[in-house]
Amino acid sequence: MTHTSKAISQSPNLIIRHGQAEDAALLAELGARTFSETFAPDNSPADMAAYLASAFSPAQQASELADATSSFLIAETNGVGVGYAMLRSGNVLENVTGKNPIELVRLYVSQESLGSGVGAALMQACIREARQRGYKTLWLGVWEHNARAQAFYRKWNFTEIGTHVFQLGDDPQTDILMERPLSDPIPG
């Protein structure tokens, strides 16, 4: 598939570009696959199936892509989607106290690309995008049992600011809320 969007970040085999309307199927597949790779071993098949059907259908992804409050950054290696991030403005939770915040809703990397720098490249692109759009704070929720992601976010100067409930099917789970000032330097 040829994409008309310009690469916003590039390394020898990795390109990060803005998501477009025609990316709904890619985001549905990549989102469902990466979410399953990360969370299926620790959750019931019924809860996973319910969440995946609601969150990652092509129609849901098309709706999110069309939403003016959301933006997507897609990481591709040699033309294959290996991760993506979703930023969304508005709907700020009360624990978020930083000025002019934007949410990092998702930062997903495929299992085969973990540890390859894709997550770091996506985070850099998210920080640049948020700064360019005039936001001052980046915030997110991360599952309390996802130690790898928590360590990644701490490395990027996110600090814990509270918790909230994330509904996975019929299972109410606890997400740790974290934020970072966008004025902080980008690590390493």
Residue numbers annotated as active site: 153
Pair type for strands 101-109 and 137-143: parallel
Backbone angles phi, psi at 44, to 5 degrees: -70, 145
Bridge partner residues of 178 (DSSP) = 140, 160
Rounded Cα–Cα distance for residues 84 and 116 (Å): 14
Neighbours of 57 (CB within 10 A): 15
CB-based contact 69:48 (threshold 8 Å)? no
Rounded Cα–Cα distance for residues 137 and 127 (Å): 9
**Which is it for the CA torsion 75, 77, 79, 83, positive or negative?**
negative
CB-based contact 75:121 (threshold 8 Å)? yes
CB-based contact 32:25 (threshold 8 Å)? no
Name residue, tokens 């692109």.
Answer: 125
